[in-house]
Amino acid sequence: MSRDGHDISRRQISENALKVLYRLHKSGFKAYLVGGGVRDILLGLQPKDFDVVTNATPEEIKKLFRNCRLVGRRFRLAHIVFGRDVIEVATFRGHHGENSDNISKSNAQGRLLRDNVYGEIDEDAERRDFTINALYYDISDFSIRSYGGGISDLNARKIRLIGDPETRYREDPVRMLRAIRFATKLDMQIDSVTASPIKQLAPLLADIPAARMYEEVIKLFFSGKAQATYKMMQEYGLFAPLFPQISRLIAEDPKGNTAKMLDAVMKSTDDRVNQDKPVTPAFFYAALLWYPLIQRADDIAVESGLPIYDANVAAMGDVMEEQCRTVSIPRRFSTPAKDIWQLQLRFERSQGTRAFKLLEHPKFRAAYDLLLLRGEAEGGNVAKQANWWRSFVEADEPQRIVIAKSSGKAGGNRNRNASQRKRRRKPAAKIKGNTAE
């Protein structure tokens, strides 16, 4: 597509991306803006990233840019660093032949472990995942090169894989999540052939390193389309491999508190993103894993006879450890998530004058927001507890003193936990001598 056939302007491309494109071009290399940057501009959206592809090797790129660092093991990439802005530059990928294991390697399931095979632009386009990402803006003449019907699919708002879907998903199972993410983010439909193998191949996601899945979850749920993404992931069976503890509870009770909490968290996350309010993985995971935590704590209390507070503290490590087997949660988020959990146990004991001290806790606001979501999901005593705290938080200082002094005993969760444990208690003969409080 010539310059006259599209409306992309260099004013829409970041200054740093243009610097990289021009230097590569002036040094005798081919240079293209590729993928999402081109796609989003054509859709009238503001691109989040500007990626560049070239026939220069990573080592040649590094010689051209002093501010370059080479990253990646599966596929070698160059990151050109401009302060906080990073322009990712990739070398054209080629097809696999009888190559040495040093540059290309797959596992028994077909997943690519190394992929440093270089080629030409036509080969690179065939190695792209979706046709709407096989779009190349040529800095030499400002034309757009579209492969596999990318422009047509963009106009038809269709997500379609390049190549055989099953083979491409086996090469990289994360492509199944990317299909969902692009469909919800761009308000597009997944092509039927592209969608067909997803349910069958969804379990392959269990083999993806947990650290990589952490980044994918952020992209899936922190882009303002969490509700739609969650719904589509459930439809294609992609949620359970990432969050097995949550999925087990939802399978047991599809309309229970866990399912209600999931819907509430996704809606809350979308609202905050769309209002340009901050969102944090600490709160997100604390809310998602609250009911798995409660179930594990009740099990520990029954099995060991520990008081429910101590059982909850013990359960926190178990629940977080199991989640990190599929989706890694960095300590900078898992630690505050545990703080948010612990504060849930203090809310019921802190109505009255103790509320003022709790209000000063650094994680109070996040914990309070979780309490409100729990009140919506559970109703009953938890809703009453949430309403008390809402009136306290929203009151001015003199009103807070009146509310605190007039407050009666906190009920809420303590009663709920006691009744739940009573239902799940083992036969008396098996726990003789235990006195769980």
Task: Please name which of 203, 182, 207 lies closest in space to residue 194, comparing C-alpha atoms.
Answer: 182
Q: For 5-51, where are the alpha helices, taking DSSP H only?
A: 15-26, 36-42
Per-residue pLDDT tens over the stretch 183-211: 999 999 999 999 999 999 999 999 999 99
Check whether residue 337 and residue 395 sit in a common domain.
Answer: yes
Total structural domains within the chain: 3
Check whether residue 260 and residue 393 sit in a common domain.
Answer: yes
Average pLDDT, stretch 81-92? 94
Check whether residue 94 and residue 205 sit in a common domain.
Answer: no
- Within a domain: 77: yes
Catalytic residue among 49, 299, 318, 339: 49
Check whether residue 380 and residue 314 sit in a common domain.
Answer: yes
Check whether residue 72 and residue 148 sit in a common domain.
Answer: yes
Higher model confidence: residue 260 or residue 423?
260
- Within a domain: 64: yes
Q: State the average pLDDT for the chain.
A: 88
Residue 45 sits at the vertex; the CA angle it makes with 147 and 181, to the nearest 5 degrees, is 70
- Cα 239 from Cα 259, distance rounded (Å): 13
User: With bands split at pLDDT 50, 70 and 90, how would you rate the model's confidence at 7?
Assistant: confident
- Within a domain: 249: no
Check whether residue 171 and residue 136 sit in a common domain.
Answer: no
Check whether residue 27 and residue 150 sit in a common domain.
Answer: yes
Determine whether 108 is exposed, middle or buried from the number of CB atoms within 10 Å of its CB (0-12, 13-18, 19+): exposed
Check whether residue 174 and residue 272 sit in a common domain.
Answer: no
Average pLDDT, stretch 348-362? 87
- Within a domain: 247: no
Average pLDDT, stretch 58-69? 94
Q: What is the CATH number of the domain that holds 415?
A: 1.10.3090.10
Check whether residue 148 and residue 270 sit in a common domain.
Answer: no
C-alpha to C-alpha distances, 430 to 233, 296, 420, 421, 433, nearest whole angstrom: 42, 20, 19, 15, 9
- Within a domain: 436: no
Q: What is the CATH number of the domain that holds 91?
A: 3.30.460.10
User: With bands split at pLDDT 50, 70 and 90, how would you rate the model's confidence at 420?
Assistant: very low
- Within a domain: 434: no
Catalytic residue among 40, 115, 124, 129: 129
- Cα 227 from Cα 331, distance rounded (Å): 26
Strand, helix or coil for residue 88? strand
8 A C-beta contact, residue 286 and residue 337: yes
**For residue 71, what are the domain limits?**
1-156
8 A C-beta contact, residue 392 and residue 400: yes
Check whether residue 299 and residue 415 sit in a common domain.
Answer: yes
Check whether residue 200 and residue 237 sit in a common domain.
Answer: yes
- Cα 291 from Cα 352, distance rounded (Å): 27
pTM for this one?
0.83
Please identify, among 156, 190, 225, the residue that sits at the C-terminal boundary of a domain. 156
Annotation marks residue 49 as catalytic? yes
Say if strands 77-82 and 68-71 run parallel, antiparallel, or are unpaired: antiparallel
- Within a domain: 131: yes
Residue 161 has phi, psi (to 5 degrees) of -75, 150
Check whether residue 169 and residue 146 sit in a common domain.
Answer: no
- Cα 398 from Cα 202, distance rounded (Å): 56
Please identify, among 128, 156, 184, the residue that sits at the C-terminal boundary of a domain. 156
